[in-house]
Amino acid sequence: MRRTALLVSAALLTSLLPVAVARAAADDPPPVPVDRFEGEVPFASPPAGGIFTWGGDTDDPPALQLSTRSDAPEGDKVLAGTYDISGYGGFTHDFAFAEPAHDWSARKGIRFWWEGQNNGKKVAFELKDGGADGEASELWTTSFTDDFTGWKQIELPFTDFTYRTDYQPVGGIDHVLGLTETWGYAVTLPVGAPGRFAMDGVELYGRADQSLRASVTTDSVVHPVREGGTAKIKIAVATTGSAPLADPVTVAYETAGGTATPGKDYTPVSGTLTFPAGTASGAGRTIQVPTVRDKGAEAAETIPVKLTVTGAKPPAETPQVVIDAHGLPYLNSKLPVQKRVADLLSRMSLAEKAGQMTQAERGAVGGGADVTAYDLGSLLSGGGSTPTPNTPEAWAKMIDSFQLRSRATRFQIPLIYGVDAVHGHNNLVGATVMPHNIGLGATRNPQLVQRTGAVTAAEVRATGVPWDFAPCLCVTRDERWGRSYESFGEDPALVESMETIIQGLQGARNGKDLDRDDKVLATAKHFVGDGGTAYGSSTTGTYTIDQGVTTVTRQQLEAVHLAPYKEAVKRGIGTVMPSYSSLDVIGDGLGPVKMHARADMIDGVLKQKLGFDGFVISDWNGIDQIPGDYASDVRTSVNAGVDMVMAPYAYKDFRTALVAEVQAGRVSERRIDDAVSRILTQKFRLGLFEKPYADTAGASAIGSAGHRAVAREAAAASQVLLKNAGDVLPLRTSQKVYVAGSNADDIGNQSGGWTVTWQGASGNITPGTTILQAMRKNSAALTYSKDASAPLSGYDVGVVVVGETPYAEGVGDVGNGHDLALSAADQAAVDKVCAAMKCAVLIVSGRPQLIGDRLGDIDALVASWLPGTEGDGVADVLYGRRPFTGRLPVTWPRSQAQLPINVGDRAYDPQFPYGWGLTTLTEVPKGGESTLKALGAAASRAERAGADGTGRALVAEARLIVQQRAAGRMTAAVAGPFADADHLLLTGRYGEAVAKLTQAYRAA
C-alpha cells in the first residue's frame, strides 16, 4: 500500500534562506517555502523527515536525485527523477513524526515549478490532512496535466483538492480539509511508459478567504422519518481553527425534487438562515420538514433540501429527507421469512437486484453516497481496513453511517457488513485475539473451540458487524502453504470436529439466533480444496502454492476436502466462499478450473447435492482470475452459483456488467432471483430490517477479562509438548530461569498474520500479554536476553522462544521469501542456551519448523503455534497451572524433502506423527501390552454402546503408554499406526484406534 506524508518545517526553511516573492497579488502575503531541494531535507522514510519513494511492485518506485541545474527556477538544485511504472508509483516528502503538523489554513494553495515533457498525462498531487501523524491522516488529491514543455509554475488552490475515496490508510477522520494539521504532500507519476521529470520551489501562496476557512455542515446527509413525522436537519457553521466568523454566512434552503410529491407527501418549506459575523464556530440552526400521513402502503420516498450558501464552503452533498417505506408485507416481522423475501423480490428492479449482489470495500465508497446510488447490498473491511481511531465506538459509528445511506434507497434494504475475524475480531485494536485455527485444532476440544467462536461473535457484533468471513475449513496438506495456520489440521475428521465454532458464531443450526446481539453470520471457506494445492502450481505473482491447483481423484475430493463442507451445511452455515485455487479432478476431462467458475461444484454439489441454502460470496476480486474478459468473468461466476461478488474497488463495473449480461440473456433472471433471495433471507434472519444499526450493548465486554480468559484457556490447550526429557517441564516457580529468543516478548509475532492488519506485524501492535511477561508473573528469578548474549551461568533451566514472524496467504508461501528453518539468530539462541543448561524450546509459528539434528540437544520441545494475545495461557502449562494436553494437528516433518507428508501416507516417517502430544496430566498406566489389550476390549465395548466419552478416555490411556515407550526413538513403523489411531479416534472407531496403538507399541 502506498503511504504519503508530511512536510518540512516552513519556519525552519524560512530561517535558512531568503525567498523571492513571485507573482504575488498586491495584497497577498509573501509565499512560504516548503521545499527548495537544495539538500536541506534528506532522502529518508517515516517516521524520520525526508523524501521517500513507493510503488505497486519492486520496479515501480521512481529513481530520484537532487540535480544541479543552471536553469533551476529557484536555487541551484532541483529534484529530478526517472520512472517506468506498471502499477502505481511516486514519491512523498515526509515531515518527521516527532515534530508538530503544520498550519496551512491561512494560505490559498500550494505551488511549485514543474519541467513539462508535453506527454499529455495527468500528474496527481496529494495532501495529508489531520490525524496523529503522516500514517494516520486523510488523503486529499488534485491533479494537473503535463501538456507543456519546459519549466512552468503550477498553482493548486486548496479549494481544488477532493477527498480520496479509492484509498484511505486510516478510513477517514472528519472528511474536512482543515489544513490546520497538514502532514505532507506526495506526487503520483504517470503509468504505462518510461518518463522523467524535474520539480523545484514548492511553496505556499496567497491568502485564504473565508469561503475556504469557513464551511457549512449538516448533521447528516440522510434524514429518515416515519410517514407523518417531521424531519429535523441541523445546519452548522465551522471555521478552520474554530475562530468566530469574520463575515456573515447565509444559507438559503428549499425542498425541491426527489420522489416524494409536494403537498401530498410533505409540506414544502423554504427560507434563509443567517449566521452573522462573530458567530462562534459550531453554531447551528435547524430546518424542519413536515411529512403527511396518507395511510397508504408505499416504498421510501426522498425529499432533497437544496442549500445555497454565501460566504462559506457549502456541504459536499445535498441533504435529503427520506419518508420510510411502510405498510408493505416484507416489512412485517410477523410474516415467515420466505414470504417476506418473495414480496420484496417481486418489487425490485433488475438494477436493485444487481446491487444486492455487489459487495464493495468500505474504503472505496468514501462517505457512502454510492451505497445509495448503486443500491449496494454489502460492504466489507479488508484486512487492516479500519476506522480512525480503531475503537469499538468508531467501528459502530462508521458502519451506522453506511447503513444510514441504505435508508435512502427505495426499499431501504439494509447493508450486510463483513470482516475477516479469523481469530477473534482481529482487525480491532484491543479485541481478544484467539489462537489461530492450527492451535485450536491442537486443543482437540470442540467445546472450547465453540466458546472461542462465541467470544469472537460477541465482539464482532458489538461493533456493528453482523457477518464474519470465518471459519476456514481448509484441510492443509502441505506446510509450505502460507495459509497453513488458517486450517484446523491435515485430517478432515479433525476439521469436522472443530466445526462447533460455527455454533459459537451463529448459534442454533436453524438460524434462529442470528438476530441476537452476540451472534454473526459465519462463512465456510474456501470451497473447495484450497489446502491441497500442489507446490509450484500457483500462477499468482510470486506465490508458490497458495491459489494454485489441487489435483485429486473424485474419491479423494469427497473424502478429504469436501467432507468439512458437508458438516458445515448440516450445522446451518450461512455463507460459503469459493477458493482462489483451481480444481483438477482426475478423469473429468476439464483440467484445472478456477473454483469461482466451477458450476459443477458450487451449484451442483454445494447447493443441489448438499442442500446448502445460504448464499455464496466470492473472494476478494476472485472472479477476476477466471480466464476471459470482465463480462465473461461476471457471467461465468454468477452462472456457476456465486450469489454475491466481492468487487472491492470495481463494484460499479461489476453491477453494470451484471445488468448487461442479464439484458443480453447470458445470465437468466431466474439465476438472479435465486441469488438475491438467498441474500435477503440471511438479512431477514439477522434481523437487519428491524435493527439495521449497531447494538453496542456488548461493547464493554470487548477485550474483557472474561473473554481473555477463554483465549487464555485456548492458548494453554493448544500447546503441544513434543519432547520432555528428564521432566524439564513443568517449570517450578523457585527455579532460576534464563529466557531468550525472538518470539519471547513480541505480541505481534505470537499473534501472527491477520492481526490488526492483513499481514500482521512484529511488535506491540495490540494489547495483550507476551510469553515473557506471563513467565515473569510465575518466576521468582528470571533473566531475559533476546539473543542470549547475557552471561549463561548460574541458571537452573533455559527457555528459548523462537519461530516465525507474521505473514498471511501466499505472501507466506515457502519459496516466496520464507522457509521452514529457524532463522540464524534463533538457531544461535537455541545453540547457546541448550549448550549451557537444561533447556526448553518453544516454537511460535503457524506451521512446523525443521529442528533437524538440534533435537538431541533440546531437553523439552513445545509447539506453541500462534497463541494470540494471551501469553498467560502458555505460561500456565509451562509452570504446571494447567497440564499439557495438546496434540499435533499436522505431521511434524524431519526435512522439507518429505513434504507433503500427512496421516495415512504409505511412506510416513516424520519427526513427530500426527496426533503426538505428551501430557503432564496423569501418570502413565502400567502393564504395557497387557494393559493395551484390556483397553482395546473396553474401547470396543464403549464403541458398540455409543459411549463416546468412555471410548475417547480409553484411547487416551493407550496413547500415553505408547508415547512413553516411543519417546526418543520414533520410526516409520511407530509413526504410521500412531497417526492412524488418532484419525480412528476422531471417527469414533475406538477399538480399532487402540489396536493401531498396540501395533505402534510393538514396533517401538
**Residues in CB range of 705: below 8 A, 6 or more apart:** none
Torsion of CA 34, 40, 45, 47, to 10 degrees: -70
Note whether 459 and 518 are within 8 A (CB). no
SS (H, E, C) 556-582: HHHHHHHHHHHHHHHCCCCEEEECCCE
pLDDT at 159: 82
- Give me the pLDDT at residue 57, please: 73
Query: DSSP characters for 236-259?
Result: EEEEGGGPPPSS-EEEEEEE--SS
Name the stretches of the chain with pLDDT < 70. 1-26, 165-167, 171-172, 241
Phi, psi torsion values for 382, nearest 5 degrees: -70, 175
The CA-atom distances, in angstroms, between 562 and each of 444, 474, 577, 613 are: 21, 9, 13, 17
Out of 619, 633, 713, 992, pick the active-site residue.
Answer: 619
Q: Is 171 exposed, middle or buried (0-12, 13-18, 19+ CB in 10 A)?
A: buried
Residue 26's pLDDT is what? Answer: 55
Q: Is 126 a catalytic residue?
A: no
User: Does residue 943 have an active-site annotation?
Assistant: no
Residue with cell 501416507: 905
Residue 20: per-residue pLDDT: 35
* 3-state SS class at 824: helix
- Residue 894 is placed in which grid cell? 524431519
Sheet holding 523-527, edge to edge: 523-527, 575-578, 615-616
Cell numbers linked to 501: 465454532
- Of residues 126, 515, 809, 992, which has the active-site annotation? 809
Q: What is the pLDDT of residues 45-89, one digit of tens each?
A: 999 999 999 987 778 899 999 999 999 999 999 999 999 988 789
For residue 846, the model assigns a pLDDT of: 98
Query: For cell 523439552, what's the residue?
Result: 860
